[in-house]
Amino acid sequence: MAWNDLRSRLRLSVYPAADRDVGRAPDSRSQSVFPDGSISCFLILAIILAVVAGISSILAGFALMSGGPSARKLGLLAAFLALVSGPLGIALGAYTLVVLVPANRTT
C-alpha cells in the first residue's frame, strides 16, 4: 500500500486546510487572532470613548473659560476620560486632576 493511499484512507495530512481548500481564496475571518469579532467591538468602543473624551474636553474648556457653575465638575469628568487616551492624555488628565481636585481653591 502506498503512502498516499494510506493517507487518503486515514485522512491524515500535514496541512489539512491545504487538502480541503484547493482552489479557494483564503478566508480572512478564519485566520484572525480573534475570530469571534471581539477585536472589532473593542475598537469601536475605543473610538467611541475617544470621541466622548474629546467632546467633553472641549466643553470643559469652554465652561472653565466662561466660569460657569458646573465647569469644575465637567473638567473633572474630562480629566478622568483623558486618562485612558495614551501618554499625552495621561499627562494632561493628571495635571487637570491636580489643579481641579482641591476643594479649597484660592481663586
pLDDT score for 96: 86
Residues 43-85 have pLDDT tens digits of: 888 889 889 988 998 999 999 899 888 888 898 999 998 888 8
Contact between 72 and 103 (Cβ < 8 Å) = no
Q: How buried is residue 75: exposed, middle or buried, by Cβ count under 10 Å (0-12/13-18/19+)?
A: buried
The span from the CA of 59 to the CA of 64, in Å, is 9
The full set of domain ranges for the chain reads 38-101
Contact present, 63 and 71 (Cβ < 8 Å): yes
Does residue 22 register a pLDDT over 70? no
From CA 94, how far away is CA 102, in angstroms rounded? 13
Name which residue leads in pLDDT, 59 or 20. 59
Q: Which three cell numbers stand for residue 46?
A: 475605543
31 band by pLDDT with thresholds 50, 70 and 90: low
Handedness of CA 66, 72, 73, 78 (dihedral sign): positive
